Structure 1
């Protein structure tokens, strides 16, 4: 293990020193010749570090933007008030670009070395990382990105419209699917902490990711999302997708160094109690109160992802309480008093996994597609997909209930009770589209930036912007702006993108969003 650690740390040093963001890649092209590194040597750091990157961003960015949590332990972090600076934009741009760059390098190596398994995986991972970059910023380089090391490469890649980027990502996913179909051999299964080198599993992830991105652009008729989703569903042998939680794209950490979770060494104060508390938004979507304000029912997932504030002085009634996202500084102390925490015992274990995508999300996608008539089935099929989705989400979290300070057990009857409750009942809902959106939001907890992306696409759940969210004029950021370094080093192409999209601010909506399509908030 000590030798493995040295190898991985040494290799990561090479990766970090030679590949960072678009700008650094374009001005300092990676001079490593293709063939000097084995493609398999790049895979493991991309997978494990990528999983930890997903965990960090869901905690740091996603949860604060979509009101799962709010940092109310002071003013050192004010993302929930939309205080997001150019340095933040640069950091996020660099992070996704770094992974896009490295996975592109792995792809080049795999082609040169005729490693078809890693060629397909590289394409899947490229789409995973680059879809998040475009969903955060809008128009980005894609076809010309990260090719400065090549003979005909460019140091100033063109920015393509988000529509063009999505079309190319779909093409890459289709190409990867065809490669997986040949069942290439993954040479070192022990390197794969997600699927153990199974091409069948990677293929399901690839095509489930395709469904995610098709739903993302489903509001744009020119993308023919419904036709493509139907093609996938009607051809399961050609397009296998997730069929149970056993297929989830989850990176499993052993807990042994260096295969440790992002939060392995994070204490409760750093993770939650000194800063990030659960919000009113999350609590009201997972707890039912009676007319006397007594809490009469709790979503069985809540005690696994969260923890009641243990201080009887601030939480004398021992209830689930949320703080206010976007609360003003003057009201922060009062709002914070007694607020519930993230469940550190569950979320910050050394071997706590990281999930890129799960089966529940696939079922939510199909529920929405059925309800909207994108695929056949209508409300009847939509209900079945929806209940499958909620069940899968609860069952996924149920596996982690054993790690809570007070172990949590969830039974089938608990799931039935949830599906019959006012929180999640299909038959009681007056707006089933909103129900799907709300429950999908809860199911996307702790999965990268997905809840943020989905909120901008659907407008669900309905969020209340706090009176302290002054830094973007009380508007939840609709995108991240291009950082000044990008504007300076690739000004012509970046400016063309801005001219297409609109002002380079956090108020300009991305192309696939509800706001861009209909003007809705």
Structure 2
């Protein structure tokens, strides 16, 4: 087993342990024979640690790249200036690969142990993790990935084109959907902190993930995504999807070890005030100003996800203020002064949940599809889906308002006011696609890397690149580059992928992106 793990690390630089927080026999294959591991023993770490992984990446990477936050408390972190190194690429590659490897192992065990419920769940989770790997890097191994432990496996897997990877992910999701439809028994429901072992709920998540990824590649006509989206929407008995916030793919942490949020032991300084501040970009999309620059309306979600800077010396008028993403070092102090923080009391509590996907995202997908004529209903139906999406997002965050230092209660009137405001009104918007993109961006706050992926797909919202974003020539990273270890250990296959994609830099767009499709 040690030799197998060395080979796995050599080709994919993957750590095979699921976690340090759960029982060793479930997380360190070196201490036990493969046959002694139960698929159910791998499920719980993959779910809970996966949710914490999602939380960490949304805080550390996504928020900085898409200008929800900017680390302007010093120069130790400069991701918002696009100072991203090979070590960062390696870390991100390893993280997604680790989960892909472990969930593939769980799948193999579920087949051997004839556990149909975990067979389907394994495929759903594999697509969840691997879709993020390909969306971060472009072409990646899929069919040959993580096969080194098998008799005919390889330590040098072929890198497949993103088109091929997506086709295989779609096939896996459809296979999983068929298995869920047989209603297999989830043997230990208590292990499932997301759906309590409900195959109906997992099936909805699987098919909602399918919709997400179909929309991701919808700009590529060869994927026939528009027809497939229509098929999903018009076949609810075959493809059930999220129908309310009750279906959200949200992992619930009890707050007791080891079921604790990623940020359970994080103080306010480490989490936000000494580093990550809310940005001008986020504030201008959630705060309406009057003719004298007074703040006349605030998106009701903002006081739940954020907190005004409490210092009267730096924020004497008690306003929502954002720092500048990508600000130069010399202007950093001025930009940072009085800037608002993340709401630690809400986001970093011990039992704060982690969300992979929610109902609001599905409604935004349907709004876009209706607006573009891919599904029936036209502008009228698009408006309804859009308003459903905004309402669902506000209601989701409204449920967390009770945890703020000063409790925030959101009423139906507050939601109506938002939907009638210049921030979110369908009828007032001259560019409906941009409105959907902008509000979807806000709704994707705190959901993994989704806002970053969607920005590259749609170009929304319009982001302003700061004058300090010098490390990628003032270009928001369009992908992460393959790390040098991967280049060294699987050179031929990596070089073939680079030949298809373009230079191995953060300026080469991924295949499904708006930039790649436009050819500029």
Shared fold (TM-score greater than 0.5)? Answer: yes
Report 1:409-448 matches (<5 A): 409-448=409-448
User: What secondary structure sits across from 2:215 in the alignment?
Assistant: helix
Post-superposition offset of 1:226 = 1.1
Post-superposition offset of 1:378 = 1.5
Instruction: Provide, for residues 416-437 of structure 1, a one-character-per-residue CA deviation record: whole Å limited to 9, x for no partner.
Output: 0000000000000010000000
Instruction: Provide, for residues 50-81 of structure 1, a one-character-per-residue CA deviation record: whole Å limited to 9, x for no partner.
Output: 00000000000000000000000000000000
Q: Hey, what's the Cα distance between the residues in 1 that align with 2:410 and 2:53?
A: 29
1:232 aligns with 2:232: yes
Instruction: Provide, for residues 425-457 of structure 1, a one-character-per-residue CA deviation record: whole Å limited to 9, x for no partner.
Output: 000001000000000000000000000000000
Q: Hey, what's the Cα distance between the residues in 1 that align with 2:11 and 2:309?
A: 44
Q: Hey, what's the Cα distance between the residues in 2 that align with 1:24 and 1:498?
A: 19
Map of 2:22 onto structure 1:
none
User: What secondary structure sits across from 2:141 in the alignment?
Assistant: coil
Q: Hey, what's the Cα distance between the residues in 2 that align with 1:483 and 1:418?
A: 44
Question: Does structure 2 retain, via aligned residues, the 8 Å contact 1:255–1:261?
Answer: yes
Q: Hey, what's the Cα distance between the residues in 1 that align with 2:434 and 2:190?
A: 42
Map of 1:169 onto structure 2:
169
Map of 1:393 onto structure 2:
393
Question: Does structure 2 retain, via aligned residues, the 8 Å contact 1:81–1:470?
Answer: yes
Question: Does structure 1 retain, via aligned residues, the 8 Å contact 2:15–2:98?
Answer: no
Report 1:55-454 matches (<5 A): 55-454=55-454
Q: Hey, what's the Cα distance between the residues in 2 that align with 1:105 and 1:361?
A: 30
User: What secondary structure sits across from 2:454 in the alignment?
Assistant: helix
Map of 1:11 onto structure 2:
none
Map of 1:5 onto structure 2:
none
Instruction: Provide, for residues 375-410 of structure 1, a one-character-per-residue CA deviation record: whole Å limited to 9, x for no partner.
Output: 222111110000000000000000000000010000
User: What secondary structure sits across from 1:145 in the alignment?
Assistant: coil
Map of 1:501 onto structure 2:
501
Q: Hey, what's the Cα distance between the residues in 1 that align with 2:504 and 2:39?
A: 37
Map of 1:513 onto structure 2:
513
User: What secondary structure sits across from 1:35 in the alignment?
Assistant: helix
Instruction: Provide, for residues 257-305 of structure 1, a one-character-per-residue CA deviation record: whole Å limited to 9, x for no partner.
Output: 1100000000000000000000000000000001100000000000000
Q: Hey, what's the Cα distance between the residues in 1 that align with 2:519 and 2:247?
A: 37
Question: Does structure 1 retain, via aligned residues, the 8 Å contact 2:144–2:154?
Answer: yes
Map of 1:23 onto structure 2:
12
Post-superposition offset of 1:35 = 2.5
Q: Hey, what's the Cα distance between the residues in 1 that align with 2:331 and 2:354?
A: 35
Question: Does structure 2 retain, via aligned residues, the 8 Å contact 1:260–1:351?
Answer: yes
Post-superposition offset of 1:372 = 1.2
Map of 2:24 onto structure 1:
none
Q: Hey, what's the Cα distance between the residues in 2 that align with 1:273 and 1:429?
A: 35
User: What secondary structure sits across from 2:52 in the alignment?
Assistant: helix
Map of 2:46 onto structure 1:
46
User: What secondary structure sits across from 1:470 in the alignment?
Assistant: coil
User: What secondary structure sits across from 2:232 in the alignment?
Assistant: helix
User: What secondary structure sits across from 2:35 in the alignment?
Assistant: coil
Q: Hey, what's the Cα distance between the residues in 2 that align with 1:201 and 1:27?
A: 29
TM-align CA RMSD? 1.8
Question: Does structure 2 retain, via aligned residues, the 8 Å contact 1:250–1:355?
Answer: yes
Q: Hey, what's the Cα distance between the residues in 2 that align with 1:145 and 1:296?
A: 53
Cα 1:88–1:480, aligned 2, differ >3 Å: closer, same or farther? same
Q: Hey, what's the Cα distance between the residues in 2 that align with 1:254 and 1:292?
A: 47
Q: Hey, what's the Cα distance between the residues in 2 that align with 1:53 and 1:112?
A: 28
Question: Does structure 1 retain, via aligned residues, the 8 Å contact 2:16–2:101?
Answer: no
Question: Does structure 2 retain, via aligned residues, the 8 Å contact 1:18–1:30?
Answer: no
Deviates more, 1:490-499 or 1:16-25: 16-25
Unaligned runs of 5+ in 1: 1-14
Cα 1:401–1:334, aligned 2, differ >3 Å: closer, same or farther? same
Deviates more, 1:250-259 or 1:20-29: 20-29
Post-superposition offset of 1:191 = 0.2
Question: Does structure 2 retain, via aligned residues, the 8 Å contact 1:54–1:448?
Answer: yes
Cα 1:411–1:222, aligned 2, differ >3 Å: closer, same or farther? same
Question: TM-score if structure 1 supplies the norm length?
Answer: 0.95
Map of 1:455 onto structure 2:
455
Q: Hey, what's the Cα distance between the residues in 2 that align with 1:453 and 1:382?
A: 22
Post-superposition offset of 1:27 = 12
Q: Hey, what's the Cα distance between the residues in 2 that align with 1:21 and 1:234?
A: 46
Instruction: Provide, for residues 449-479 of structure 1, a one-character-per-residue CA deviation record: whole Å limited to 9, x for no partner.
Output: 0000000000000000000000000000000
Question: Does structure 1 retain, via aligned residues, the 8 Å contact 2:121–2:202?
Answer: yes
Instruction: Provide, for residues 198-253 of structure 1, a one-character-per-residue CA deviation record: whole Å limited to 9, x for no partner.
Output: 00000000000000000000000111111111111111111000000000000000
Post-superposition offset of 1:36 = 1.9
Q: Hey, what's the Cα distance between the residues in 1 that align with 2:292 and 2:71?
A: 29
Post-superposition offset of 1:33 = 5.3
Instruction: Provide, for residues 102-135 of structure 1, a one-character-per-residue CA deviation record: whole Å limited to 9, x for no partner.
Output: 0000000000000000000000000000000000
User: What secondary structure sits across from 1:131 in the alignment?
Assistant: helix
